[in-house]
Amino acid sequence: MLGPRPTTAGPAEADDTPRTAQQATRAVEHVLERVLAERLRQARDTDALFAHDMADRVAAFVRHGGKRLRTAFVWCGWRAAGGSGDATEVLRLGAALELLQACALIHDDVMDGSPLRRGAPAIHVDFTRVHRTGRTYGSAESFGTSAAVLAGDLALAWADDLLTETALGTPRGARLLGEWRAMRTEMVAGQYRDLNAQASGSSCEEEALTVAVLKSALYTVERPLALGASLAGADARTLGALRAAGRCAGLAFQLRDDLLGAFGDPARTGKPADDDLRSRKLTPLLAVAVRLAEAVGDQESAAVLAPDAGSRTAHTVEGMRAALERTGARAEIEARIGELAAAGLRHFAAATAGPDARREFAALVERASGVAPRPAEELV
């Protein structure tokens, strides 16, 4: 027996049922608000200080976050597999993914030492400020880091709770839990590969792609598509096509993010544009630049991109940007993004999705990758 259907978010009213991915990303805000209100009530019942300092911050971070891309891709997967009617469970899946994304971002900022997220101080920076301005003892930085780790853990617990509640309320629950478990493990594996590559000073292009797929592409697009499709009861063929589409589109998304991490405008991205370069994070962009520099004997570029280049000052960072341009790495990554985005559309069409679903997926891929891959024969 599966047990009672969760009551945190009831079925959507007929007039409020989203009919497009864009409407789903708006509707998920209401689901998140109901879920967060319940979690905050539970936090206050547990401990007032914890609720005020920790739970309220996590809830605020979730409320003010992001493009809700994962919700949109869950919706696309559901629709591609023939989902229709009441969208309550789809939106709850989307909300769980948004909570998981909060965990990933909070922890990622700690590991990368990033000061900004979404145009505001990162969670660990905010906790550090609280320590410094209060009547406290010990290291403010250590307190901020430790508190942020707990904040990310809390977001993960909320995400797991919501996914489990949703799975218990649907006959597709076992499939949803299988996708979810795999996705969490992939995320941790990707984060560790990222840390390990940085520690080893790797410039390996294959390793950079492995990190990009595990850390971002899978949980940003492929797994959300598969979660939505699994909820709709997709067959193996449809799931396979959607997984392939999601991996291509997800990697295109990550490559775009790498470019923004090196060349983006912080006023538009809400995060610094030099963190990846200062830390010499292994990205496909950097790995391609190293390969191209070595291929033509560009010693200046190879030296500034090397792991032992010394202190990464503002001047050095500008030299790295110039090397990414001069070697042709930026142009090569731009071309790859276009190829991956187009491949994602081809795989999605192979899932026998209807024309409306294909158009919505194409719009999402454009939004995620920054390119507009719209072959007419695939979108009619």
State the DSSP string of 162-188: HHHHHHHTSTTHHHHHHHHHHHHHHHH
Query: In the prediction, which pLDDT does 217 show?
Result: 93
What is the rounded distance in angstroms from the CA atom of residue 338 to the CA atom of residue 371?
Answer: 6
Long-range pairs for 83-87 at CB < 8 Å and ≥24 separation? Answer: 83/228, 83/231, 83/232, 85/17, 86/11, 86/12, 86/17, 87/12, 87/17, 87/18, 87/24, 87/27
More confident site: 6 or 332? 332
Query: In the prediction, which pLDDT does 267 show?
Result: 73
Q: How far is CA 351 from the centre of its chain?
A: 24
Assigned domain for 5 exists: no
Assigned domain for 145 exists: yes
Assigned domain for 91 exists: yes
Is the four-CA dihedral 256, 275, 219, 163 of positive or negative sign?
Answer: negative
User: Phi and psi dihedrals of 85, rounded to 5?
Assistant: 85, -145
Assigned domain for 167 exists: yes
Q: Which domain holds residue 222?
A: 19-379
Q: Read off the pLDDT of residues 308-345 as tens digits, 9 standing for 90 and up.
A: 876 778 888 999 999 999 999 999 999 999 999 999 99
More confident site: 261 or 289? 289
What is the rounded distance in angstroms from the CA atom of residue 238 to the CA atom of residue 360?
Answer: 17
- Return all residues near 314 (Cβ < 8 A) that are at least 6 apart: 274
Closest CA to 241 of 350, 339, 346: 350
Q: How far is CA 291 from the centre of its chain?
A: 27
Q: Give the count of domains, the chain.
A: 1
CATH code assigned at 334: 1.10.600.10
Assigned domain for 7 exists: no
Assigned domain for 289 exists: yes
Q: Read off the pLDDT of residues 91-111 as tens digits, 9 standing for 90 and up.
A: 999 999 999 999 999 999 999
Could you tell me if 52 and 204 are in contact, meaning their C-beta atoms sit under 8 angstroms apart? no
Which range among 81-85, 146-150, 218-222, 244-248 shows the weakest confidence by mean pLDDT? 81-85
What's the pTM? 0.90
Query: In the prediction, which pLDDT does 374 show?
Result: 59
Assigned domain for 12 exists: no
- Return all residues near 129 (Cβ < 8 A) that are at least 6 apart: 121, 140, 144
User: Phi and psi dihedrals of 16, rounded to 5?
Assistant: -95, -5
Assigned domain for 14 exists: no
